[in-house]
Amino acid sequence: MRQQYSSYDECVDFFKSAQISNPNLFKVESIGKTWENRDIIAVSITKNIDTHLDKPALFFTGTIHAREWIGIELSLSFAKYILEHIDYDPQLNDILDRSTLYMVPCANPDGFEYSRNHFSFWRKNRRNNADGSFGVDLNRNFSVGFTPNKDTTSNVYSGPSAFSEPETAALRDFVISHENITIALDYHSQGNVFFPAHNFIHEDAIDAVDLNLLAGNMAEEIKKESGREYGVHMGKPPVHLISGSGREFYYSRGALSLVVEVGTRNISDYKEHMSENIDENLPALMFALTEVNNYKKENALPRVDNFIATDVKSKEVELSWGYPGHETVYFEIYRSSKKKGFAQTSNRIGMTKLNTYTDKNLKSSTNYYYYVRAVCKKRHIKSPYAQVLGVRTHPAESMFSKILYPLADKIGYVGEKTKKNAEHFGNNSMFVGISESKGECFGICGFSLTTIPMNAIITSASISFYPMNRVSVQVESYGEWRVGQIDERTIDSTSSFDDIKNAKTLSYIDRPTGSAQLAQGIWRTYTFAAQEISVLQKSLARSEALFKFEGPSSLPLDRASQLMQWDIGYGKFSGGLTYRPKLDISYTVDEAKLELQSSREFTALENEIIDNKLLAGYDKNGNKKYSCIEFDLSQWPAMDNTVISNAYIELEAIDINSTNKIRFHIEMIVPCDGEKTYEKITTRDIIERIGYDVSVADIKSEPKQRFVFDTYAINEMVENIDNRSKAVFVISASSHKAILKNQDVTFMDSKRVKRPSLIINYIKKRRNAPDKVENLRHIIENNIIKLEWDIPNDDGYKGSIVVKNPFRVPCSPYDGQKLYGGIDNYTYDNFGDSTVHKYYAVFSYDDVPNFSEPVSIELNSEVNR
């Protein structure tokens, strides 16, 4: 297997040969010497190589850890790709006309050769330490966050001081002398995940959105190539973040910096896995190169700011943003269903020169995330992205939604060989799959359904889990992870492995997830199908739903683990509420029906008003006959807590005196003041037409006709009901003929038995948000920010959601990091930095939920942002 990999000398020889054959495209230089006197080479690749410093650049580093051979192999493959395609690939030529690629194919030549020839699992360089041990972890030897470590035998020994090693000093000097570097990619193995740089304070930096999107876009390129899903995982609290790494040093120099973890083993089987890993990463590298121009440090386009949702409805979101006016600039808007998504042509929803955009035809009760950037068509560059905007569309008119979270004692895992399964609940993480040490492991997640009414009719549901670490998934394509609802009545103890293993499965949810789709840091959602919803529906009677998360139950030869780690949102090593599993349920309730018969009917003719008669058509002179219908609304339900799901007017034709040349329609009109006259009816103020026209042929076929209100007509009726005690409708005739005479239809019998009816189906549901909380304030308690507020005196108030956003007042409960949701009047920002500028917002909610406008507070406004 190792013979299929290149040696360091072979790598150097290849690049020197490329320089000889393509001197205007390749440049090879030594940037330092190792302890064993090997050259550390850097390769520059661009068209017109002498101009490399004049172009923005991507900086590639590989194999800084000796046993992670992917870096050196990927650099060789990418260089070969460039050589093979430069003569005819227009995109590649355009990229290299405008940007530079710098590569240090192997940042640890001594360690790499030791790994190849002596001990394959070697990680460090080959410094001869004073105590006779060898090696420093070069990725702990940079200056940013450098942490001294006296254990020289440790695999993560950081060295006697920052940049004590010739390899890291060479990388430092190269980066400092190449200010044109705008993106840095450091290639490692294993994990199939991108790790963006972090700032050590657990608060998003202004360019965190760019880091996540660079990673997300590269991940999307990989997915297009192989179907494999790479994760995106910026260090999150309270995980101990890596100190002294190259990633953070490059980031400190102004570059967007990512670590890319490739594959599931340090040294993969070359033919079966490594070659595939290389092939899928080539288009990702190409994409990264297309972005370097957009982040150059001089004359860059400014970032779009104040990106907010000005209006959110069930199927529509209105966006707006700020930007300095310029005639050559337009905007690209992207929509994602994932918080850490991508922004490419496939999910670009619009381009505009305006500072507003309305996104339509959305799904109700659904989370969406928006990105926007400016584009200068004259300079062919794009701005950094505006801060990501999160929203959730409102429930549909007759719907409610609930997002449920498990209590601490209902979320955890049980292991076949673990001795203290009861201690796995409410504590840090959930392991699912199998390993030699833990045996088979099942995740358990239980939800109380007591907040959902017993008469609820569930229409959709999904359950989501956050994968926090996939390093222990050691096989690239092996096994599936699936979620099933189990019958809690068949279990004596949720902490018993045997009880959980043998529990009755009521239904499996959605399709299982293959190991190649386990993306660390990207929520995995399982959506209920109709049959699975029916099982969940029956659980309402028991007020509880229990789910089992299972993975592979056996291991292939020579592998010790296929175990995925998921966050549970509890415990000091979890990410808290933001990463807690959730059950998202949409439901409606049984409808009530109100049927009103008309309270007054009359026909308006040119010369008279005839009461108690409904005649529509044309008179002998060709003038229209209008049928007018009034409904008394005194029995109408109070609209503050009522939503009409559908409404229609029902008419029955009694006598037809017409050819098939006439059609009839119904209009809702503003009631006429004073005495009813033909002139007032002909000049009526129309609110909205109801339903579709019907022809005489339709009426002859079916005398009883329904005119159904659309959503707009319902809203108009409701709005007008608030101001009046009656609703008035007119039946009007129309024809394509210029003149029609002596044709009409009678729509009511003379005894008024078969009067028109107005039928509405409705549910009891609040239409307006509860009152806002009051007196939002903060204190510092044990160096932790504590927020407090006063609960409003409103019967509809069910609780508050607290959201943090470093860049703007959150415009929705989903626009930032959710810190709390519940009925208390306080919460803590356990991981937030008390010295950093940020905004907090509190939203009141009811049982729909309708959310109030935010009550916000700004902290540390004087801090330089």
Q: Are 411 and 445 in contact (CB under 8 A)?
A: yes
pLDDT of 397 reads: 85
Q: Are 636 and 721 in contact (CB under 8 A)?
A: yes
The single-letter DSSP state of residue 522 is S
Q: Cα-Cα-Cα-Cα dihedral of 199, 202, 205, 211, to 10°?
A: 80
| Mean pLDDT, residues 615-644 taken together | 91
Closest C-alpha to 60, from 49, 70, 51: 70
Contacts of 525 (CB under 8 A, 6+ apart): 462, 463, 464
Give the range among 265-269, 357-361, 386-390, 791-795 with minimum mean pLDDT.
265-269
Closest C-alpha to 729, from 635, 595, 599: 599
pLDDT of 640 reads: 82
Q: Pick the residue with more confidence: 202 or 10?
A: 10
Q: Are 740 and 627 in contact (CB under 8 A)?
A: no
- Under the banding of pLDDT at 50, 70 and 90, the label for residue 295 is very high
* Angle of helix 90-98 versus helix 275-291 axis, rounded to 10: 50
Which helix or strand (DSSP H or E) is residue 749 part of?
none
Looking at the predicted structure, is the pLDDT value of residue 648 above 90?
yes
Give the range among 308-317, 555-564, 580-589, 745-754 with minimum mean pLDDT.
555-564
Tokens of 393: 């569309």
Give the range among 71-80, 122-131, 715-724 with minimum mean pLDDT.
715-724
Residue 642 in 3-state DSSP? strand
- Rounded to the nearest 5 degrees, what angle is found at the Cα of 744, between the Cα atoms of 730 and 653? 70
Burial zone of 240 (CB within 10 Å; 0-12 exposed, 13-18 middle, 19+ buried): exposed
Looking at the predicted structure, is the pLDDT value of residue 555 above 70?
yes
- Under the banding of pLDDT at 50, 70 and 90, the label for residue 238 is very low
Looking at the predicted structure, is the pLDDT value of residue 735 above 80?
yes
Closest C-alpha to 57, from 81, 30, 27, 85: 27
- CA–CA distance, 297 with 308 (Å, rounded to integer): 27
CB atoms within 10 A of CB 390: 23
Q: Pick the residue with more confidence: 399 or 190?
A: 399
- CA–CA distance, 824 with 424 (Å, rounded to integer): 27
Residue 211 in 3-state DSSP? helix
Looking at the predicted structure, is the pLDDT value of residue 272 above 70?
no
| Mean pLDDT, residues 814-841 taken together | 93
pLDDT of 722 reads: 63
- Under the banding of pLDDT at 50, 70 and 90, the label for residue 725 is confident
- CA–CA distance, 135 with 703 (Å, rounded to integer): 93
Tokens of 840: 């907090």
Contacts of 498 (CB under 8 A, 6+ apart): none
- CA–CA distance, 769 with 641 (Å, rounded to integer): 11
Q: Pick the residue with more confidence: 191 or 373?
A: 373
Tokens of 98: 């405008």
pLDDT of 206 reads: 94
Provide the pairing of β-strand 505-514 with 561-567: unpaired
| pLDDT tens digits along 37-74 | 999 999 999 999 999 999 999 999 999 999 999 999 99
* Angle of helix 208-226 versus helix 275-291 axis, rounded to 10: 140
Closest C-alpha to 343, from 361, 366, 370: 370
Tokens of 777: 């304030």
Alpha-carbon distances of 19 from 39, 96, 491, 780, rounded to whole Å: 16, 16, 69, 60
- CA–CA distance, 476 with 562 (Å, rounded to integer): 10
- Which residue pairs, CB below 8 angstroms and at least 24 apart, start in 794-797? 794/770, 794/844, 796/766, 796/770, 796/846, 796/847, 797/770, 797/771, 797/844, 797/845, 797/846
Which helix or strand (DSSP H or E) is residue 521 part of?
none
- CA–CA distance, 249 with 197 (Å, rounded to integer): 9
- CA–CA distance, 270 with 815 (Å, rounded to integer): 44
pLDDT of 271 reads: 54
Give the range among 8-12, 467-471, 550-554, 614-618 with minimum mean pLDDT.
467-471
Q: Pick the residue with more confidence: 345 or 243?
A: 345
| Mean pLDDT, residues 466-493 taken together | 91
| pLDDT tens digits along 681-712 | 999 999 999 999 999 999 999 999 999 999 88
Amino acid 166 reads: P
| pLDDT tens digits along 151-165 | 999 999 999 999 999
| Mean pLDDT, residues 181-200 taken together | 92
- CA–CA distance, 672 with 685 (Å, rounded to integer): 9
Q: How far is CA 560 from the centre of its chain?
A: 34
Alpha-carbon distances of 713 from 250, 628, 689, rounded to whole Å: 59, 18, 7
Amino acid 327 reads: E
- CA–CA distance, 728 with 604 (Å, rounded to integer): 14
Looking at the predicted structure, is the pLDDT value of residue 1 above 50?
no
Longest CA–CA span in the chain (Å) reads: 116
- Under the banding of pLDDT at 50, 70 and 90, the label for residue 845 is very high
The CA radius of gyration of the chain, in Å to the nearest whole number, is 34
Q: For the chain, give the mean pLDDT.
A: 93
CA atoms within 13 A on the CB side of 635: 12
What are the residue ranges of helices labelled H in 517-603? 530-539
Give the range among 216-225, 597-606, 650-659, 709-718 with minimum mean pLDDT.
709-718
Give the range among 288-292, 689-693, 700-704, 714-718 with minimum mean pLDDT.
714-718
pLDDT of 235 reads: 66
Cβ-count burial 729-758 (b if 16+ within 10 Å, e if not): bbbbbebeeeebeebbbbbbeeeeebbbbb
Looking at the predicted structure, is the pLDDT value of residue 237 above 50?
no
Closest C-alpha to 628, from 669, 572, 683: 669
- CA–CA distance, 137 with 66 (Å, rounded to integer): 9
pLDDT of 375 reads: 96
| All domains in the chain, ordered by first residue | 2-295 (3.40.630.10), 305-394 (2.60.40.10), 403-589 (2.60.120), 599-755 (no CATH), 774-859 (2.60.40.10)
Looking at the predicted structure, is the pLDDT value of residue 86 above 60?
yes
| pLDDT tens digits along 497-552 | 999 999 999 999 999 999 889 889 999 999 999 999 999 999 999 999 999 999 99
* Angle of helix 90-98 versus helix 70-85 axis, rounded to 10: 110
Closest C-alpha to 727, from 597, 566, 565: 597
Alpha-carbon distances of 365 from 250, 475, 668, 797, 850, rounded to whole Å: 41, 37, 31, 20, 11
pLDDT of 266 reads: 66
- What residue has token string 């090879």? 28
- Under the banding of pLDDT at 50, 70 and 90, the label for residue 457 is very high
- CA–CA distance, 440 with 420 (Å, rounded to integer): 14
- Rounded to the nearest 5 degrees, what angle is found at the Cα of 35, between the Cα atoms of 261 and 44? 55
Number of separate helices (H) and strands (E) present in the chain: 13, 47
DSSP 358-385: EE-SPPTT-EEEEEEEEEETTTTEEPPP
What are the residue ranges of helices labelled H in 419-522? 497-501
Tokens of 29: 């230089």
- Under the banding of pLDDT at 50, 70 and 90, the label for residue 269 is low
| pLDDT tens digits along 102-159 | 999 999 999 999 999 999 999 999 999 999 999 999 999 999 999 999 999 999 999 9
- CA–CA distance, 100 with 181 (Å, rounded to integer): 9
| Mean pLDDT, residues 243-271 taken together | 87
Please report, rounded to a whole number, the percentage of residues in the chain having pLDDT higher than 70.
97
Please report, rounded to a whole number, the percentage of residues in the chain having pLDDT higher than 90.
83
CB atoms within 10 A of CB 504: 12
